[in-house]
Amino acid sequence: MGGLQKKKYERGSATNYITRNKARKKLQLSLADFRRLCILKGIYPHEPKHKKKVNKGSTAPRTFYLFKDIRFLLHEPIVRKFREYKVFVRKLRKAYGKAEWTGVERLRDNKPGYKLDHIIKERYPTFIDALRDIDDALSMCFLFSTFARTGKCHVQTITLCRRLTVEWMNYVVTSRSLRKVFLSIKGIYYQAEVLGQLITWLVPYQFAHDHPTDVDYRVMATFTEMYTTLFGFINFRLYQTLNLVYPPKVTQYLDLTFSCAQQKLSALSASLARVVATAEEEENQLDLFPTEGEDQENMQAREKEQKEQEAQKRLFEGLKFFLNREVPRESLAFILRCFGAEVSWDKSLCIGGTYEVTDETITHQIVDRPDMDKQYINRYYIQPQWVFDSVNAQMRLPVEDYFLGTTLPPHLSPFVEEKDGDYVPPEKLKLMALQRGEKPVQEDEEEEDEEEEEEDDDEEEDDDVDDEELTEEKNLKKLEGTRAQGKTLAVKVTPGKVKPWETGSVGNKVRLEQEEKAEEKRLAIMMMKKKEKYLYDKIMFGKKRTTREVSSLRCAPAKPTRPSLRPFACRWR
Amino acid sequence: MAAVKRLKRVAAAQPGFISFKSSAGSDDLNSGQRKRVNKNKKKNWNKHSDIQDVEEFLDDVRLQERATGGLISEKPDDSLFFVDIGEQRKYVQPEVQEGKKGKKSKSRPLRIDLILQHDSLVPPPKDILAHQQPNAKKLRRIAENAAKLAAMGVLPRRQKRLLNRRPAITASKSKTAANNFPDRPYYDLWGGDAKETADPYYLEQTGKKRVKRPEKLNSKPSVLPAVEVIAPGGSYNPDFFSHQALLLEAHEVEVKRERAELRIERQLAVNRDDTATEETVFQELVEGLVEEEEDEDEEEEDVSIRGGLQQEKKTEKERRRERADKIKSQQKQAARVFTDKKQQLFQLRSIQATLKRGEQQTRERVAQRKANQEAEKSMPRRLGRLRFQAQDLEVQLSDEIPGSLRTLKPEGSVLKDRFKSMQKRNMIEPRERAKFKRRHKVKYVEKRAFREIT
């Protein structure tokens, strides 16, 4: 029999993979440099299917890379820069050792550097690709910008991250693209819709850092280096799409030094300068095409959606807020400005406050303390949660639940989407009812009505608003008084309320629609095959069971407003 | 000469003139005899008239001018004297030092340059020629001519040549700023693509062409989202039930951990039966003294019988019978199979049922495998020596929940969350911090001075 004997591990998966150490040697880099290169180029380790085959019979756990990836890395021009840097460090150390200070100086002047632009272009060939991957960059930059200037990372990096995040926030404010906010115990989650992409990011609370020891700072710094480059280019492009000047400039202060302008920008209270000074953004309308049947329905739905979005963007328009010093200024200013409100704060708190506390036109003051000494009669004193909840509910919620010193309703996560049949918290049910336009059933109907009216029309004259608010304030005081007296007044003759669907034509329409739908469904069920019917019945049974459980859950406990029991008490390390 | 004489006269006439070298003049005056010479010849004037004092005086004047910028006698008193207050000196010193320090760090001038520097306070004489132009008339004419030509639109040759020249490549070794430079400029990276003008073959051969990135590299190693939003129970002011759900989850994690710890403990525990009792100790001591004979005998017999049987040879008759038996059994078997097959005709239904069941099973398995593979895409892989270990769940107990945003105490670390998220998405392999290992033992020695005290 002719032919050579086949040797083991010379073909197949054994040759498709390469261990980390071998790859490192092939590239002639140190481990730190190799890791940096892999992160920058977006090359990740790979777990082979048959480890023993790849590992040449050994079962020792190793890190493997695909051989082709490493071969691709060989062509990277940055590799040479890394080697140059290695040599530079060696020379510098030598010069230091010999105390050749002029030599040190000369070497420092010629320190080799590298650019990441071409890598970004290579990894994200189009702008949208980059935008899709920005979540990580955002979270990382926001995180780094809150770091203290200790030796954990380079101060310049922190400054750059701060600059980029401020630019981003200004962009979101100008484009009004914020959608959701969630205050968690970890940090604040934001979601924005930028050019059709949903972008989620996490911002840590200020001063919340203890530096964990089991995190590799070098790796994080490398990621940040890549992300800052990416983020900057994205910012540039985004500013371009809005016709804004980049680097951003505040309209009032076009000629300022860098650091000063940066501070003004980070205050988020002023609008940005545009390349072409236009009056206001014209309403962008959907192009209308003659369509038929289903398309038309889709079109209508889309139009409706867009209208809703437009309304949401103007959520706080015309309101004037004042932030007390104990509330998180930056996040609140960011959110309020995103929805068109005017914001100001104490002069000693931060630069950029536009008006004083004493301003009579302030409509809301955001407070987070048990009570205030001096209160103005013509403004609401509300707790910060109102802002976040209103943004998530896409409407201005009634303020009385959030007044100074009241116990707040729970802050629900906007990122949860309940399927029908799941347990929905009662607060959310109430909220959904509010969104549908139903009035919450409460003791005093009149006040609610007034509230609704007040919310509905935005373009009221200032005087009217003041008057109304005055009366409302009184009414509310009265209400509180009655509440304080106890629940004895609950027995009260109230005028009978007419159900909405029996009166208005709108209600009728809704009801008709519903009936039609129900009928359609019933017919469809009748038309089912036996087999499908069986399946359908099974599904419905399961659904019913869950709803039964949920309903039992809902009515069973007399729920305490502030849960104080500790059913699962265990300590965390 | 006349100027010198005049100067001397002027200086001498002034009452307050103080010479730097006062002794030189007096020496000259006191020298003894004068030499007599004819003064009718100009040569003799030069030779024999004593101009030493004049020259010294002039030297002195120049020295004064050079060092102080004018005659000392003419200076006001304030510039010459100052009231010595100790502190004023201190003000001066740091300034000088700062200047030195700043310069030192940037560029210190060479010593040779310092020596060559102009250090006189006398300003250099004005160059009169600088204000006078030679050939002014000619130049004027040329300029007029040029202006006339320019008006006509004719460019001079030199300018034409300049315009025709190709623009030099501007990117001449510009220093690359660090990537984290806070003021770094950005530009439109995805803007108009600069088209490659050069020959692609040339670029490829000279290694200037970028290698195309494989498409496969653009796929992410995990399907998990970059930012995973915390469960609704993690709200700073959570709804009761979602908070309880999160607590339950955390509780389960903790229970699992505890169970694992317990299991290890159980495995490490000493078995009661293994410990020596008095009985077993005695047994061990007596071991080997009492013999058990009966068992051994039986075993020996067994072995002998078996061996004997095997070694006996079969007779021809036996073989024949065996063969016949074998054939018979084979026939029987064949007949059995045949009848079975016949019978299967009546079992068709049940066979079909089993087949169906088998198929169903394989289908289920395929679906299961597919589901597993899908699930694996979002699971952290084993990328190195260590397995991925999820972060502790961030949870606030019921009594830790703050009443308001102001009193909120953030839980966990966002930095760690990010780091773990990257590990979870298979972007980096889990590693542990290298432990510091001391090579040589540290030797503690009490210093003598210290020992004396204690």
Q: In terms of DSSP bridges, do strands A17-19 and A64-66 run parallel, antiparallel, or are they unpaired? A: antiparallel
Within the 1-40 window of chain B, which residues sit less than 8 Å (CB to CB) from chain A? none
User: In this structure, are residues A373 and B410 in contact, taking their beta carbons and an 8 Å threshold?
Assistant: no
Q: Which residues of A touch B434 (CB under 8 A)?
A: none
pLDDT at residue A118 tops 60: yes
| DSSP symbols for A436-486 | HTPPP--S-HHHHHHHHHHHH-----HHHHHHHHHHHHHHHHHHHHHHHH-
Residues B378 and B222: beta-carbon distance below 8 Å:
yes
Tell me, what amino acid is at A149?
R
Coil, strand, or helix at residue A323? strand
The two tokens of residue A272 are: 């940005």
Question: In chain A, pLDDT over 90 holds for what percent of residues?
Answer: 36
Please tell me the predicted confidence (pLDDT) of residue B70. 81
Tell me how close the Cα of B351 comes to any Cα of chain A, in angstroms. 25
Does pLDDT of A462 surpass 50?
Answer: no
Instruction: Return d(Cα A411, Cα A235) in angstroms, integer.
Output: 32
**pLDDT number for residue A184:** 92
Judged against a pLDDT cut of 50, whether residue B113 lies above it is answered with yes
Which of residues 420 through 459 in chain A touch B, CB cutoff 8 A? 423, 425, 427-428
Q: Kind and range of the H or E element at A200?
A: strand A197-204
pLDDT, average across residues B248-269? 93
State how far the Cα of B226 lies from the Cα of B417, in Å rounded to an integer: 11
Residue count of chain B: 454
pLDDT value of residue B11: 52
Q: Residue B274's pLDDT is what?
A: 80
CB A18: neighbour CB atoms within 10 A? 21
Name the residue among B182, B187, B237 with its Cβ closest to that of A411: B237
Q: What is the dihedral of CA A386, A392, A396, A401, to 10 degrees?
A: -40
Q: Is the Cβ–Cβ distance between A93 and A41 less than 8 Å?
A: no
A135 with B227: Cβ contact below 8 A = yes
* A399 pLDDT higher than 50: yes
Whether the Cβ atoms of residue A58 and residue A52 lie closer than 8 Å to each other: yes
- Contact across the interface for B177 and A113, Cβ inside 8 Å: yes
- Which of A246, A228, A263 lies closest to A171 in space, CA to CA? A246
For position B71, what pLDDT does the model report? 85
Q: Best-predicted range by mean pLDDT among A148-152, A236-240, B33-37, B82-86? A: A236-240
Query: What's the pLDDT at A34?
Result: 95
**Chain-chain contact of B179 with A232 (C-beta, under 8 angstroms):** no
- Beta strands A364-366 and A380-382 are parallel
Per-residue pLDDT averaged across A528-543, rounded?
89
Q: Cβ of A22 under 8 Å from any chain B Cβ? A: no
393-412 in A: which are within 8 Å (CB) of B? 407-408, 410-412
**Does residue A304 have a pLDDT over 70?**
yes
AA letter at A102: T
Residues B371-426 have pLDDT tens digits of: 999 998 889 999 989 999 998 888 888 888 888 888 888 888 899 999 999 999 99
User: Residue A134 above 80 pLDDT?
Assistant: yes
At residue A491, φ and ψ (nearest 5 deg) are -80, 110
Q: What is the mean pLDDT of residues A196-221?
A: 87
- The tens digit of pLDDT for each residue in B312-330 reads 888 999 999 999 999 999 9
- The helix (run of H) or strand (run of E) holding residue A524 is helix A505-526
Confidence of residue A468 (pLDDT cuts 50, 70, 90): very low
pLDDT of residue B24: 43
pLDDT greater than 90 at residue A181:
yes
Residue B453 has pLDDT above 50, yes or no: yes
Residue A453 has pLDDT above 90, yes or no: no
% of chain A beyond a pLDDT of 70: 77
Q: Count chain A–chain B contacts defined by CB atoms under 8 A.
A: 263
Q: Which single residue is written with the structure tokens 């949903």?
A: A198
Residues of A in contact with B181 (CB under 8 A): 156, 160
Partner-chain contact B243 A133, CB within 8 Å = no
* pLDDT at residue B165, as a whole number: 81
What is the tens place of the pLDDT at every residue in A511-534? 888 999 999 988 988 888 888 889
Beta bridge partners of A201: A190
Over the stretch B337-372, which tens digit does the pLDDT of each residue have? 999 999 988 989 999 999 999 999 999 999 999 999
Helix axes A77-97 and A101-109, enclosed angle (nearest 10): 160
Task: Give which of A167, A130, A177, A173 is closest to A145, Cα–Cα.
Answer: A167
Average pLDDT, chain B: 81
What is the rounded end-to-end Cα distance, in angstroms, of chain B?
A: 90
Q: Residues of B with CB below 8 A from A130's CB?
A: 190
The one-letter amino acid code at A151 reads: G
pLDDT in tens, B134-151: 788 888 999 999 999 999
| Under 8 Å between Cβ of A17 and A54 | yes
Confidence of residue A40 (pLDDT cuts 50, 70, 90): very high
Contact A167, A262 (CB under 8 A): no
Q: Is residue A498's pLDDT more than 60?
A: no
Query: B230 vs A117, A230, B395, B417, CA distance in Å?
Result: 34, 26, 10, 11
Closest CA in chain A for residue B222:
A44
Three-state secondary structure along B268-337? HCCCHHHCCCHHHHHHHHHCCCCCCHHHHHHHHHHHHHHHHHHHCCCCHHHHHHHHHHHHHHHHHHHHHH
Better pLDDT: B61 or A550 = B61
Residue with tokens 């890598």: A119
**Could you tell me the pLDDT band of residue A248, with boundaries at 50, 70 and 90?**
confident
CA nearest to A218, candidates B386, B182, B433, B390: B433
Looking at per-residue pLDDT, the higher value among A113 and A426 belongs to A113
- pLDDT (0 to 100) of residue B435: 83
The answer to whether the CB atoms of B394 and A116 lie below 8 A apart is no
Stated length of chain A: 573
Q: What is the pLDDT of residue A378?
A: 87
Predicted confidence (pLDDT) at residue B12 exceeds the cutoff of 70 = no
| Interchain pair B180, A160: CB under 8 A | yes
Mutate to test the interface with A, among B230, B385, B401 (most CBs of A within 10 A): B230
CB-facing half-sphere around the CA of B152: CA atoms within 13 A: 9
What does the pLDDT look like over A374-383, one tens digit per residue?
888 888 999 9
User: Token digits for A469?
Assistant: 């608010």
pLDDT at residue A38 above 90? yes
Q: Give residues 365 to 404 of B whose Cβ lies within 8 Å of A.
A: 381-385, 392, 394-399, 401, 403-404
The pLDDT value recorded for residue A127 is 92
For residue B98, the distance in angstroms to the closest alpha carbon of chain A comes to 19
**ipTM greater than cut 0.90:** no
A387 and A331 in contact (C-beta within 8 Å)?
Answer: no
pLDDT for res B23:
45
Give the Cβ contact number of residue A463 at 10 Å: 8
End-to-end CA distance of chain A, in Å?
67
